[in-house]
Amino acid sequence: MTSLNANLKTNTLKRNPGLPLDLDWVMSSQANTSAIERRANSLAARRSVKKDHQTGWLLRAISCIDLTTLSGDDTASRVKRLCEKAKQPVSRNLLLALDAPQISTAAVCVYHDMVKTAAQALAGSGIPVAAVSTGFPAGLTPFNLRIAEIEASVTAGANEIDIVISRRHVLTQDWKALYEEMRCFRSACGDAHVKAILATGELGSLRNVARASMVCMMAGADFIKTSTGKESVNATLPVSLVMVRAIRDYYERTGISIGYKPAGGISKAKEALTYLSLIKEELGNRWLEPDLFRFGASSLLNDIERQLEHQTTGAYSANYRHPIA
């Protein structure tokens, strides 16, 4: 079988070099909350992907998952098992039954202490290691330590760095401080791609989300990401709509493609299909590939596997059959 992720494991897109901070552009970013919610509700109400088409979309969703473990009780053995799951997220027998290609997840996401373990376990697979950094999840450790953490994760083998911004810069409308912070993070990442986590559930308004998205892209973020997964409110469709439209605006003005990663709270296959539909309609097919779209999730894989098994057997498997997810 050929790989669904062929030629997508390495980021071949032009890196985002960033732009000088343009406050006029930032302040022009607005958000019509009622219109955004109406559009989001219309997406969630649809269910138009059926049968064989649904299989293809679910396999695409798996290929876009950053398989994640961010627990205080993480161990080397758990991370190694997760890496094996990333390399073979769906059983070969099930793929054969579906007449589907070989597949893997987009990346494995861990804390810094587990970067070396993950990098060794994934060596030769082409699957990148993503490390959460900069005092994740609150982002309130001293600035020099946040920079040092990025550099240490890159040295240990991380190919991608998920940084958290200082929410106070957004809440106080200090866009210059946010820009300068993000530029420093981008520089510390070197060749590693950087995903800027906005923690949207703590930013106060959709307008703040729009403006923070734009500032982070101007400062050189390769991806913008909704959440750490640790907030009380994580990825939502309204927030996602605001962020992907900011990405579209940035692309139309600069020609630079920025990736998007909804994270936290996406655990059902049906939800994944809705997010993929949103991306297809707002940004186009190119953004349905792992170098421009990711799900920050692990339990999502469990439900997708169960849906795929249902398509081949007519019955749902028990959750305990998928404990690694």
Q: Among all residues, which ones are annotated catalytic?
A: 162, 225, 261
Residue 44 CB contacts under 8 Å (≥ 6 apart), including other chains: 237, 274
Residue 129's identity, in one-letter code, is V
Smallest CA-to-CA distance from 157 within 185, 195, 130 is with: 130
Q: 261 and 294 in contact (C-beta within 8 Å)?
A: yes
Residue 25 CA to residue 211 CA, distance in Å, equals: 9
Residue 168 CA to residue 208 CA, distance in Å, equals: 11
Backbone phi and psi for residue 109, each to the nearest 5 degrees, phi listed first: -115, 125
Q: 306 and 270 in contact (C-beta within 8 Å)?
A: no
Smallest CA-to-CA distance from 213 within 188, 185, 241, 254 is with: 241
Residue 135 CA to residue 213 CA, distance in Å, equals: 20
Q: 310 and 322 in contact (C-beta within 8 Å)?
A: no
Residue 86 CA to residue 238 CA, distance in Å, equals: 29
Residue 113 CA to residue 130 CA, distance in Å, equals: 12
Residue 316 CA to residue 306 CA, distance in Å, equals: 6
Instruction: Give the bridge partners for 194, in sequence order.
Output: 161
As a whole number of Å, the end-to-end CA separation of the chain is: 23
Smallest CA-to-CA distance from 3 within 66, 65, 84, 92 is with: 92
